[in-house]
Chains A and B, each alone.
Chain A
Amino acid sequence: MRLLRGGQVCCPSSGRFGPADVLLDGDRIAAVGSFDAPPDAEVIDCAGAVIAPGFVDLASELGDPGEPWREGLEHGSHVAAAGGFTTVVISPRTVPPLDEPSRVADIISRARQAPAARVLVAGALTVDLKGEALAEMGMLVEAGCEALGDGGESIADLQVLRRSLEYAAKMPVPVFLRPGVPVLEERGTMHEGLVSTRIGLRGIPAAAEEIGVAQVVALVARTRSPVHLTHVTTARAIRQVAAAVAEGLPVTASIPARHLLLTDGYLETSGYDTAGRLLPPLRSEADRAAACQAVSEGILMVGADHVPWTQVEKELEFSYARCGAVGLESAFSAALTALGELKTVVEAMSVRPAAVLGREARVAAGRVADLVVLDPEVTAEVSATRRSRGVNEPLAGRALRGAVRACVVGGEVVA
């Protein structure tokens, strides 16, 4: 048995906030509160720290299979745990993509053996993530996929989008989509606005994401298929999500944590740092502020959007570099720094993303012991020496509030 002693519990699901010890027995939580702990329990000192349900990420890439140098499944599991994530869903955007049941079975069997954070696998919605033909969703789910989606790719063909939502609606797993319009994004490399005009980069209009959200919402209204939008980043797109939620449609949405802190101005101040080449791109200050507000109001949840790349893909001219940044290790401190309130962060990073997967993140007796121990008052620089193999961290060098002290998965301390 293990005893997390002397900390504060932050559990929005049970409404428990305040000093409490947590006793673990095997992979479960045995007791929460004040109790007489068995004398032989291994004590983990949590003085000054906060114990919360572990973070859940719905859309990260680990480059596995196909590009193990980017992260790899086993290594990525440790990276996730280092960032306080107890569960990550990996995107089907691999090489080749996770669109083939037999191939998926292999990665799932490895994922089930992941050494630290739990790794779940999202299968493709369309063949080769091309948005043209439906993937064998039934067999992908049967093989063990816990979500369906096309990773960072947006489906351009609206008939295919409609049919894939209708088909996937009968599956027992959630559907993840990145809202966007590929033809409006194709030549752009950053958010279109004052900064893109000033620094001479072709822009991606916010309309690409906003039209993408509008399309999905209209189709969900028709198909009633639950959809999670993995990247909602503009003020207008957020308003559309809020309206859909208010209407009672089964739509949820998340934003990458870094988008709560950084704006398009980063590309000017950093001199075209390719770590800031992202899709969706870093947005305007007005969008950023609207996003923070939306997270606080429960409209958006917060993801890591972990897309590691090495020098090979990032030490290039800005428009030639691949899109994406690492995020698993900085997401918590980015979110806490931007949002200020720990309870908001735990709701946005643990409770609501777990609910998308049909799970409940709760620190209570009898529950699986997937927990994170946080130091919310520590300020630390996002270090250049991270565990991730990705070099692309646009938050590097920034002093952010909050640190992960330990991560517990299935009762084991994995970070």
Chain B
Amino acid sequence: MKRKDMLGLRGLSREEIVEVLDTAKNFRQVFSRRVKKVPTLRGRTVVMAFFENSTRTKTSFSLAAKRLSADTLSFSASTSATRKGETLMDTARNLDAMQPDAIVIRHPATGAAHLLARHFPWAVINAGDGINEHPSQALLDMLTMRDHLGTLEGKRVAIVGDVYHSRVARSNIYGLKTMGAEVVVAGPGTMCPDSMADLGVEVRHTIDDVVEDSDVVMMLRVQRERLGRAMMPSVREYARYYGLDMARLERARPEVLVMHPGPINRGVEMTPEVADGPRSVIMEQVTNGVAVRMALMFLLLGGSTGAGGGER
């Protein structure tokens, strides 16, 4: 991969996406070994900078770095100097003085990863910026889909929920469109305005309009803690029109894949029977997350195949 950074799937080519997915698939073989580690990034330093709460993404990136034998350093906003008023750029200048090789950043502001990428020589991996993008999530979603569907070309993927304010949705839309899939989105007008069609997706307003003819139904998390004012009347009403339950799932194609970026609000986005049922591939998404993040770090830092990595 000839990129310094992984900021988003907007603008990424089909070849680059395939390269990440194929590399991730190879790394996944390591997971079934007794020693789940390769020496590829030995001696390299990866910083995990999380300015927003995250358990699963941070754990996944940390484990991915460790399985590549990189040294990791992690800090979160609550423990770092940002609480003392230091700016992101100042924090980054200090990190820079310690010669890291890559930084994985999650941040509540759109473009935070881009700001660092523009000013510093190390690789920046965007682990979620504001409502913009979450590329590693979309790549792991696409790997999971490809495992089951064989290809993404011509497949129909439904994304349901607060699509407009979702970085998971945005990255999936860009990646899936590039890979030749059809994307249909559904949600209330406040979360899924008709202008989403500008991104080349179909826009619908109830889950029943999308569940029947899709190969994949991806349910987005309702981020109750982050919803703006007047976004929806109630959780009860949301679940009624946008929740996935067994009755709706029975109208779907028998081989449909049910996905969710986690953590699930059981009983809101989907009922427990659906989340834990046979069509759910949610745990596979988690496993693939580690593989995809290994692939990203490897491709940005290592470049060449084989152990050792080498200098950038």
Show the binding face of A for B, using Cβ within 8 Å: 187, 189, 193-194, 197-202, 271-272, 315-320
Residue of chain A at shortest CB distance from B89 = A315
B107 at the interface (CB under 8 A from A): yes
* A316 x B195 contact (CB < 8 A): no
Question: Judging by beta carbons under 8 Å apart, are B112 and A317 in contact?
Answer: yes
> In the complex, what residue of chain A is closest to B129 when comparing beta carbons?
A200
Q: Decide: A317 and B195 in contact? CB cutoff 8 A.
A: no
Q: Are A318 and B170 in contact (CB under 8 A)?
A: no
A198:B111 contact, CB within 8 angstroms: no
Residues of chain A with a CB closer than 8 A to B129's CB: 200
Q: Considering residues A200, A202, A319, which has the most beta carbons from chain B within 10 angstroms of its beta carbon?
A: A200
The reply to whether A319 and B198 form a contact with Cβ atoms under 8 Å apart is: no
With CB as the reference atom, state the residue of chain A lying closest to B134.
A200
What chain B residues lie within 8 Å of A189 (beta carbons)?
110
Known: A316-B88, A317-B88. A200 touches B131 (CB 8 A): yes
* Minimal Cβ-Cβ distance residue in B for A320: B109
> How many Å lie between the Cα of A200 and that of B198 in the bound state?
13
The answer to whether A272 and B114 touch (CB under 8 A), given A194-B195, A200-B133, is yes
B118 contacts A by Cβ under 8 Å: yes
Q: What residues of A have a CB within 8 angstroms of the CB of B238 in the complex?
A: none
A315 touches B87 (CB 8 A): yes
Contact at A198–B10, with CB atoms within 8 Å?
yes
Min CB–CB distance A255 → chain B (angstroms):
25
Chain B contacts with A in 114-133, Cβ cutoff 8 A: 114-115, 118, 129-133
The reply to whether A197 and B196 contact each other, CB–CB distance below 8 Å, is yes
- Do residues B109 and A187 form an inter-chain contact, with CB atoms below 8 A? no
* B84-125 contact mask (Cβ, 8 Å, vs A): 1 or 0: 000111000000000000000001011110110010000000
A315, A317, A318 interface centre (most CB from chain B within 10 Å): A317
B111 A271 Cβ-Cβ under 8 A: yes
CA distance A315 to B118 in the complex (A): 12
Q: A197-B164, A272-B114 are known contacts. Are A187 and B228 too (CB-CB below 8 A)?
A: yes
User: In this complex, what residue of A is CB-closest to B197?
Assistant: A197
In the complex, are the beta carbons of B87 and A201 less than 8 A apart? Answer: no
Contacts of A200 in B (CB 8 A): 110, 129-133, 167, 170
Given A194-B195, A200-B110, A200-B170, check contact A272 B130 (CB 8 Å): no
Contact (Cβ within 8 A) A197 B195: yes
The answer to the question of B199 belonging to the interface, with a C-beta cut-off of 8 Å to chain A, is: yes
Question: Closest Cβ of chain A: how far from B189's Cβ, in Å?
Answer: 14
Which chain B residues in 5-45 approach chain A with CB under 8 Å? 10
Among B87, B110, B130, B196: residue with most chain A CB under 10 A: B110
Q: Which residue of B lies closest to A189 (CB)?
A: B110
Residues of A with C-beta under 8 A to B112:
317
Distance to closest chain A CB from B309 (angstroms): 28
**Which B residues touch A318, using CB under 8 A?**
109-111, 115
Name 23 A/B residue pairs within 8 A (Cβ), A-sorted.
A197-B164, A197-B196, A197-B199, A198-B198, A198-B199, A199-B10, A200-B129, A200-B130, A200-B167, A201-B111, A201-B132, A202-B130, A202-B131, A272-B110, A272-B115, A316-B115, A317-B109, A317-B111, A317-B112, A317-B115, A318-B115, A319-B130, A320-B109
Residues of A within 8 A of B115 (CB): 272, 316-318
Closest B residue, CB atoms, query A311: B89
CB neighbours of B196 from chain A (8 A)? 197
Contacts A198-B10, A271-B118 given: A316-B170 contact, CB under 8 Å? Answer: no
Chain B residues with CB under 8 Å of A315's CB are 87, 89
Q: Which residues from B are CB-within-8-Å of A201?
A: 110-111, 130-132
A197 to B196, CA, bound (A): 7
CB atoms of B132 and A199 under 8 A apart: yes
CA distance A319 to B118 in the complex (A): 17
**A317 in contact with B228 (CB, 8 Å):** no
Q: Which residues of B contact A197 (CB under 8 A)?
A: 164, 195-196, 198-199
Which of the listed residues A201, A272, A320 has the most CB atoms from chain B within 10 Å of its own CB? Answer: A272
Residues on the A chain within 8 Å of B111, using CB: 201, 271-272, 317-319
- A201–B167 Cα distance when bound, in Å, is 10
CB distance from A77 to the nearest CB of B (A): 31
Q: How far is the CA of A320 from the CA of B89 in the complex (A)?
A: 12
The winner among B111, B112, B118, B198 for most chain A CB atoms within 10 A is B111
Among B138-173, those with CB < 8 Å from A are: 164, 167, 170
With A200-B133, A200-B170 known, 5 other A-B pairs at CB within 8 A are A199-B132, A200-B129, A202-B131, A316-B115, A318-B115
Chain A, residue nearest B7 (CB): A271
Q: How far apart are A321's CB and chain B's nearest CB, in angstroms?
A: 9
Partner among A202, A271, A319 whose Cβ is within 8 Å of the Cβ of B114: A271
Closest 8 CB pairs of A and B: A200-B132, A272-B111, A317-B109, A318-B111, A194-B198, A317-B112, A319-B109, A200-B110
Chain B: minimal CB distance from A192 (Å): 8
Q: How far is the CA of A187 from the CA of B109 in the complex (A)?
A: 12
Residue of A nearest to B10 (CB): A198
Chain A residues whose C-beta falls within 8 Å of the C-beta of B228 in the assembled complex: 187
A203–chain B nearest beta-carbon distance, Å: 9
